[in-house]
Structure 1
Amino acid sequence: MSKRIETKDLNIYYGKFHAVQNVNMTIEPRSVTAFIGSSGCGKSTVLRCLNRMHEVIPGAHVEGEVLLDGTNLYDKRIDPVRVRRQVGMVFQKPNPFPTMSIRENVLAGIRLNNARISKSEADETVERALRGANLWNEVKDRLDRPGSGLSGGQQQRLCIARATAVRPDVLLMDEPCSALDPISTLAIEDLIKELRDEYTIVIVTHNMQQAARVSDVTAFFNLEAQGKPGRLVEMGPTDKIFSNPDEKATEDYITGRFG
């Protein structure tokens, strides 16, 4: 199920503004890759390009390739909706659908794809996804209550369950803990470590300690100057990036000299 992602000469634009230039990277299956770097350097922009969410913004476009197991996701014949089913996204703020029950939130992606499933299949999917998100025992007796009634940390795990219910190959997470308290953050970090056995996971985080705790590989992005495109400075095993990076800019960021 889990798949490899590659980007080749990926250049990202908002209208005429060149936001990120020449990103070449390989993200291995069944691993957690963290994107770190100062604000505005293009981390989240690159993340959104991995499932074609970037092009939802008017005037936004990309040049280059994003390959999922060798298939270019930006090929004209590829349906972006299918891409977003294969490459799921969990956003910064938990966003369960407020009018839906916990159960219907989990099934939302399947229903959106017009997939018809029997009640028994739906029950099985809900339990599998909520167990996978370490939420089942907390909510199994109130599946018909609104998802918006859960705590922030539970809501984020519900959103992870919703993303995994459609069985994607890749899970993207854009600062999934930034709106959460420390205990909820720990729960999500533990969950990320468990999910790596089944998914290719890419996480954007401002929290370097979090990157060090949860990721196998870290990619450091930086801006040469304000108004210039962001770029990938260095990517490698997390322990090496944090202890012995190749680039001075990476070391300066890790040690807090800037950023």
Structure 2
Amino acid sequence: MAMRLDLEKLNIFYGDFHAVQDVNLSVAPRSVTAFIGPSGCGKSTVLRTINRMHEEIPGAYTKGKILLDGVDINGKDVDPVAVRRTIGMVFQRPNPFPTMSIRENVVAGLRLQGVRSKSKLDEVCEKSLRGANLWDEVKDRLDKPGGGLSGGQQQRLCISRAIAVEPAVLLMDEPCSALDPISTLAVEDLISELKTDYTIVIVTHNMQQAARVSDQTAFFNLEATGKPGHLVEINPTEKIFSNPDLKETEDYIAGRFG
């Protein structure tokens, strides 16, 4: 199910503004890659571009390639909706559909795909909630509103909703930034388990979190306000945090800026 992700000379624009410049990186299947760097350097913009959300902004466009197992997801014959089914997204703040029950939240994507079999929907609901380590906490209240869960439970509900459609890649944009430490630990443990089935990319401002959950880390930076963000260095996480190739990376890890 997991697929390899490659970015080749990816440039991202908002109209005339060059937001991100010449990103080249690869993410192996069944691994976790963390994007770190100061605010405004393009980490989340790259993430949104990977599942073709960036192009929804008026005037926004990209150059370069985003390859999923060698196939360019921006190809003329590629359906953006199909891309978003293959590349799931979990956002910074939990966003369960407030009028839907827990069960309806989990299977919303399948319903959009036309799945109507109750037995199939129930099966996927349980499997996805178990996959998000949430089943035991909610199995007796599946018909209650998803918005009634705690923040950490809501985020795991959103993860279960994302994995219900069986994506190949799972993108997470600061998934723990709005959570308490206990909920953060639960989501981090979940990320470690999910990488056995998915290719995961996570944006985080928490360097300790990047060190805990990722196999490789990509450090982004920008020269100055108004300049495009760029990828400074990507390496195995242990190397990035102990012996980075570049002083710029070392200075950021050490807290000298950012």
Please indicate the TM-score interval, normalised by the length of the shorter structure: over 0.9
Partner of 1:148: 147
The CA deviation string for residues 108-163 of structure 1, in whole angstroms up to 9 with x for no partner, is 111122x2241111110000000000000000000000000000000000000000
Q: CA deviation at 1:15?
A: 0.8
Partner of 1:199: 198
Other structure's SS at 1:201 match: strand
Q: Which residue of 1 aligns with 2:232?
A: 233
Q: Secondary structure at the match of 1:173?
A: strand
Aligned to 1:28: 28
Percent identity over the alignment? 74
Runs of 5+ unmatched residues, structure 1: none
SS of structure 1 residue aligned to 2:196: coil
Structure 1 counterpart of 2:193, one-letter code: E
Q: Which residue of 2 aligns with 1:189?
A: 188
Looking at structure 1, the residues matched to 242 and 116 of structure 2 have their Cα atoms a distance apart, in angstroms, of: 49
Mapped to 1, the partners of 2:110 and 2:16 lie a distance apart of 36
1:120 aligns with 2:119: yes
SS at match of 1:24: strand
Alignment partner, residue 98 of structure 1: 98
What RMSD, in angstroms, separates the aligned Cα atoms of the two structures? 0.5
Three-state SS of the structure 2 residue aligned to 1:157 is: helix
**Residue equivalent to 2:44:** 44
Aligned to 2:108: 108
Aligned mates of 2:100, 2:83 — CA distance in 1: 25
Deviation track 1:206-237 (CA, whole Å, cap 9, x = no partner) reads 00000000000000000011111000000010
Q: After TM superposition, give the deviation of residue 57 of structure 1 in Å.
A: 1.1
Return the alpha-carbon distance in structure 2 between the equivalents of residues 116 and 130 of structure 1: 18
Query: 2: CA distance between counterparts of 1:189 and 1:117?
Result: 33
Q: After the TM superposition, which parts of structure 1 deviate over 4 Å for at least 4 consecutive aligned residues?
A: none
Unpaired runs of 5+ residues, structure 2, are none
TM (norm. structure 1) is: 0.99
Contact 2:115-2:121 within 8 A present in 1 as well = no
CA distance in 2 between partners of 1:188 and 1:227 (Å): 34
Tell me what 2:132 maps to: 133
Q: Give the counterpart letter for 2:49 in structure 1.
A: C
Residue number in structure 1 paired with 2:64:
64
